[in-house]
Structure formats: C-alpha cells, structure tokens
Amino acid sequence: MSHAPELKLVPTPGQTVGPFFGYALPYDKDSELLAPGHPRSIRLHGTVVDGDGAPIPDALLEIWQADEAGTISRETGSLVRDGYTFTGFGRAAVDNVGHYTFTTVNPGPTEPGKAPFIALTVFARGLTNRLFTRIYLPEDTEALASDPLLASLDAERRRTLIAEREADGSLRFDVRLQGGDETVFLSYPRES
C-alpha cells in the first residue's frame, strides 16, 4: 500500500441510489461508448444478481476505461454523445431481468506490461453505498499473472474479476453482490 496522508475533512456519507433513479440517471446512448456496429466496438454485458442468485432489476452500472491504445480520454461529451468522440465513460441501467449491455472497446494497457481493465461502479436499491470493482480481460495471461491485485487473491476470488470472452468477441462479466462467488469489491487508500 502506498502512503496515504490523512484527510483534512471528513467525507460526506453515501446513501443508496434508491429505486427511482430510472428517470434521472439514464440518458440517450449512455451505454454506448461507441456506436453499436462500429468496426472497433465490442459488447460488454452480464447480469447483476443478489445473494439468492436472483437478478436485480434496479441496479445501475458505470464504466470508465482507456481506449485500445491505453490512452485515458480527457474529452467531454459523455452525456451528450456526438457518436464519434470516445470519452471512456458509460452508464447502463439493468433491464427487468438484471441484464446490462455496454458497447465499448477493449481497453489497452495504460502502462507497458500492466493488465488492462475497465473500472466499474455498482449502484442498486438496497445497496447502501456504491461499490467499486474491476473488469479484467481474459487474454492477457502474462500481465494478469503479475497484476498486484489479482496476485493478492486466491484463485476462486480472482476468477470473479476476469471477464469471459464469448465466441462473437463479447466480454461477459456478471456482478454478484453476495454469496459464495461474490464479486471482489475494492476500497482505495484515502476513502475515509
């Protein structure tokens, strides 16, 4: 862990997103970091489930990622998409059966040798605060093996952070809020 200097101010507590975000947070093309059907685009999708394995119909996911070259976008326009600018940010509400879809690109390594990943934030009714996690790509076996986070987890738990590549090139990543194969959620040095 890096040195984490103490905070001067106490952070404001979080609260659940509640059930009624559905008319406020979703927006046109929110889950399309790239237009579907674009030659560069891939589908990232999966299901959000609770401790009984039941799909959650009122969850919202956000992703934030580098492009294929590992470049972090500083472009604006995530909320009003022009269809051409890759801003790296996306938001997707799950459907009635807990399923989400993003159209995006495979992220590249932001530093040589690093395992690329997509940063993911999870919000849901009944979830009292947001959760952070990471979606790693399955192919980068060497980089995955030397990734500090993945290396610190046992094999069973590590598996929950690595997406599955489907035959059509899609990435499949399920989020399990609770239970035996609960997704690994993250905390960062200077949270509170």
Find, among 132, 192, 136, the residue nearest to 161 by Cα: 136
Query: Of 99 and 119, which CB lies nearer to another protein in the complex structure?
Result: 119
Question: Cα–Cα distance between 133 and 118 in angstroms, integer?
Answer: 9
Question: Cα–Cα distance between 82 and 78 in angstroms, integer?
Answer: 9
Query: Of 39 and 84, which CB lies nearer to another protein in the complex structure?
Result: 84
Query: Of 125 and 172, which CB lies nearer to another protein in the complex structure?
Result: 125
Least distance from C-beta 139 to another protein, angstroms?
18
CB atoms closer than 10 angstroms to residue 147: 20
Query: Of 75 and 166, which CB lies nearer to another protein in the complex structure?
Result: 75
The dihedral region occupied by 98, where left means phi > 0, alpha psi between -120 and 50, and beta the remainder, is left
Least distance from C-beta 20 to another protein, angstroms?
4
Least distance from C-beta 7 to another protein, angstroms?
3
Least distance from C-beta 79 to another protein, angstroms?
4
Question: Cα–Cα distance between 64 and 73 in angstroms, integer?
Answer: 10
Task: Assign 63 to helix, strand or coil.
Answer: strand
Least distance from C-beta 141 to another protein, angstroms?
18
CA 35 to chain centre: 19
Query: Of 27 and 35, which CB lies nearer to another protein in the complex structure?
Result: 27
